[in-house]
Structure 1
Amino acid sequence: MHKLLLLVCFCFLCSCATILNGKKDKVYIHAPKNTKVKFEGDELIVKEDHVIIFPTRSRDSLKFELSNDSISTEFAYRKRTSGIFYLNFLSPYYLGFIVDFTNPSRFSYKRNFIFEIDSTQNTFYSPNNEPIHFKRNDIFVYTTPLKAMDVFSQPMLTLGAEYFVTDRLSLSAEYGTVFSKRLGSGRNPKIKLVKNKGRSFRYELKYYNLLSISSNPRVNEYIGLESRFIRYQFNEDISFRRDAEDISYIIDETLVVRKSVNIFNIKYGLNYPIGKNYFIDLYSGFGVRLFDIKNVNRNYNPETDTLIDDRGHFDYRRRNIEGLNNNNHFNFTLGFKFGYKF
């Protein structure tokens, strides 16, 4: 009996749909304003763009009725198997399937439905071209406006292109170049030993519409794997105290900083259409940032000299001194891209 109980618990802990899916699903119905949605005895009114219904997960089809003035149409859509159900392939011996097969939580319905009114037929219909999905061989050219106003690093002008290998899979490449002086605290040394310059390369692999988190059916969502390679050269002022026998004195030094930064992120993004051809790509993600810093002309000795804090600029300058920091950091990314789809 004890072993049987352990087996039942083990199966339940592996049943992904039973654990992760609620009793009810969440469905967005997009229809013209003031449309009435009759569902399970309730009547909802579309005030702006959509209403949300919560059908109980079951083997039955999803049924509801739309009406607007004298137009009324009934709809029925078959259930489908939730994607979470297939996570049971990761469970030992696939035991999670046993529990989920007996539980209606494994079922779900399409997340978004779009309806329009056919005035000639006096009926509601669902257009076939509802979302603006990308297609194979599409090309998307974009820039990253926030890079031009980067107060934490070096302002850059960027230009990138995204090419769709399939309807859902795309590859993108981006190039950035320094166009302005460094911004922020401690970025304007008195002596210019080298020319401030820099460049960056970004490569990204995206897979679209694997998830459907947004309630807007015209938005393309994606999961992306990103790699960025940045190379900087600039001047940086530091001040430090040096002790020589009984004498202590301050030294101001201008460093040559040659910084290499390699960034690897996993990202989630939303691609919003603006009109027919323009898009805004909003994204966020996390990963790792790897630094390599060289100061080719440095006199400062971290073993014997003491850096001087200059009203909070100390941390920024310390990050540009070779050998003082852990060069591996957690990276968080958040931003947007704006572009044009050909």
Structure 2
Amino acid sequence: MSISSCATLLNKRQSVITFQTSENVDYVFKGDTLVHENTNTFARVYRNKKQPITLTFINKDYERQINIRPKKVGLYYLNVFSPYWLGFGVDELTRRKWTYPKNVFVNMEKGSYLPYFPMDTSMILNKPNRLSLTPLAPLGNQHPGIELSYQRALGIKYAALIAYQQFIPAQSDLAKNATGFSLGLELKRYYRNTTNSRFYLSANLEYLHKNHEAVLHYSEPQDFIQKEEPVAIWSLVDIEKRFISMVPRFGIEYYLTKRLLVDGYFGVGLRYRNVSHKNTPHGLVLIATYWEWFDIEYDSNRPTQSFSANLDLNFKIAYSF
């Protein structure tokens, strides 16, 4: 088990492929063998191989030859955890790394296929508007708030979204008596629309303006390596934050019904930070609370004008209409 591949041990020798065609076909041939007739949906079992499956679809208007290409099973990539990557060699010897797509959609007019069933375009074109709520936005101690979004479909492949969040206070030194808002503009590019899911890439531009209070640790500006203990105080200060973020995102929209869906996304981008203190204690400087490598209260509240990385990870509940 430690030197063999999970694909060799667990991948099935056959694939069950369900075919769907854009219109009814009279006959489906594999070579000179009749596979199916008079339908637009059928399933067949094929032995997994490196070679594509060649089928001919025939109706009164078209005769299309389609080559269903194999792909490497996901288990194959677990070989990176095998000693010296020997699992890759085992898979090459056994040839058990191949599989075929479970669903195949054949477009008779174009003579092409998709390795999945596409979404009904009427679900998008007939319901181009969408309202969203971010259920986790009120939680957490850094930027809690109420976030609403509106999205408008720009055809099948594109959509534009605007998001507004009103901040609310939280019992932390990152959102104590917090006020302010964030405003985001996102442009989505969909690259795959399956039966119930849509996959997209997007660019999100966000502006954040927040005021809050924090109890921070200040000290005299001197060399702390000296033996003398510095004078240190805790002080309640007013903090103003202005952020501008640009984040590329990868997202998946999953339709629970024809109108209700979940939109989850992940992205890493760049943020410009402008943090200022309105009532800093005179003659003292801000120091980290705990002398650790990562102090979120110190890093987030320290006065600065700088660039930093920005992480987006969240989901929305949406309603289309």
Name the TM-score, length of structure 2 as normaliser.
0.61
- What's the CA shift for 1:262? 1.2
Residue aligned with 2:137, SS: helix
Q: Are 2:143 and 1:164 equivalent residues in the alignment? A: no
Q: Are 2:104 and 1:113 equivalent residues in the alignment? A: yes
* Cα pair distance change 1:228/1:54, threshold 3 Å: farther
Q: Contact 1:182–1:188 at 8 Å: present in 2 too? A: yes
Q: Contact 2:264–2:314 at 8 Å: present in 1 too? A: yes
- What's the CA shift for 1:63? 6.3
* Cα pair distance change 1:132/1:251, threshold 3 Å: same
- What's the CA shift for 1:142? 0.5
Which residue of the partner structure matches residue 128 of structure 2? 138
Which residue of the partner structure matches residue 341 of structure 1? 320
User: Which whole-Å CA distance do the structure 2 matches of 1:225 and 1:157 have between them?
Assistant: 22
Structure 1 window deviating more from structure 2 (142-151 vs 267-276): it is 142-151
Which residue of the partner structure matches residue 45 of structure 2? 38
- What's the CA shift for 1:259? 0.2
Residue aligned with 1:316, SS: helix
Q: Which amino acid letter does the alignment assign opposite residue 333 of structure 1?
A: D
Work out which of the residue numbers 301, 305, 316 in structure 1 matches 2:297: 316
How many positions carry a matched residue from both structures? 234
* Cα pair distance change 1:147/1:78, threshold 3 Å: same
Q: Contact 2:147–2:164 at 8 Å: present in 1 too? A: yes
Q: Which amino acid letter does the alignment assign opposite residue 141 of structure 1?
A: L
* Cα pair distance change 1:155/1:339, threshold 3 Å: same
- What's the CA shift for 1:141? 0.8
Work out which of the residue numbers 58, 66, 87 in structure 2 matches 1:78: 66
Residues 95-132 of structure 1, C-alpha deviations (whole Å, 9 max, x = no match): xxxxxxxxxxxxxx9984369xxxxxxxxxxxxx9524
- What's the CA shift for 1:188? 7.6
User: Which whole-Å CA distance do the structure 2 matches of 1:263 and 1:61 have between them?
Assistant: 49
% identical aligned pairs: 16
Work out which of the residue numbers 162, 170, 173 in structure 2 matches 1:181: 170
Q: Which amino acid letter does the alignment assign opposite residue 37 of structure 1?
A: R
Query: Over the residues paired in the alignment, what is the CA RMSD in angstroms?
Result: 3.9
User: Which whole-Å CA distance do the structure 2 matches of 1:219 and 1:169 have between them?
Assistant: 15
Q: Which amino acid letter does the alignment assign opposite residue 147 of structure 2?
A: T
Residue aligned with 2:297, SS: helix
Q: Are 2:307 and 1:328 equivalent residues in the alignment? A: yes
Work out which of the residue numbers 220, 243, 248 in structure 2 matches 1:261: 243
Q: Contact 1:278–1:339 at 8 Å: present in 2 too? A: yes
Q: Which amino acid letter does the alignment assign opposite residue 56 of structure 1?
A: Q
1:127-276 alignment runs, 5 A limit: 131-133=119-121, 134-135=124-125, 138-151=128-141, 153-183=142-172, 186-187=173-174, 196-208=178-190, 210-211=191-192, 217-242=195-220, 248-276=230-258
* Cα pair distance change 1:237/1:131, threshold 3 Å: same
- What's the CA shift for 1:332? 2.3
Q: Are 2:262 and 1:280 equivalent residues in the alignment? A: yes
User: Which whole-Å CA distance do the structure 1 matches of 2:302 and 2:221 have between them?
Assistant: 20
Q: Which amino acid letter does the alignment assign opposite residue 200 of structure 1?
A: S
Q: Are 2:286 and 1:292 equivalent residues in the alignment? A: no
- What's the CA shift for 1:249? 2.9
Q: Which amino acid letter does the alignment assign opposite residue 159 of structure 1?
A: L
Q: Contact 1:135–1:168 at 8 Å: present in 2 too? A: no
* Cα pair distance change 1:56/1:279, threshold 3 Å: same
- What's the CA shift for 1:322? 1.1
Structure 1 unmatched runs, 5+: 1-26, 43-52, 65-74, 82-108, 116-128, 190-194
Structure 2 unmatched runs, 5+: 1-14, 20-41, 58-62, 70-99, 107-116, 223-227
* Cα pair distance change 1:286/1:308, threshold 3 Å: closer
Q: Contact 1:136–1:165 at 8 Å: present in 2 too? A: no
- What's the CA shift for 1:254? 1.5
Residues 59-89 of structure 1, C-alpha deviations (whole Å, 9 max, x = no match): x74469xxxxxxxxxx9762499xxxxxxxx
User: Which whole-Å CA distance do the structure 1 matches of 2:179 and 2:212 have between them?
Assistant: 7
Which residue of the partner structure matches residue 85 of structure 1? none
Q: Which amino acid letter does the alignment assign opposite residue 233 of structure 1?
A: N
Which residue of the partner structure matches residue 48 of structure 1? none
- What's the CA shift for 1:230? 1.0
Name the TM-score, length of structure 1 as normaliser.
0.57
- What's the CA shift for 1:308? 5.6
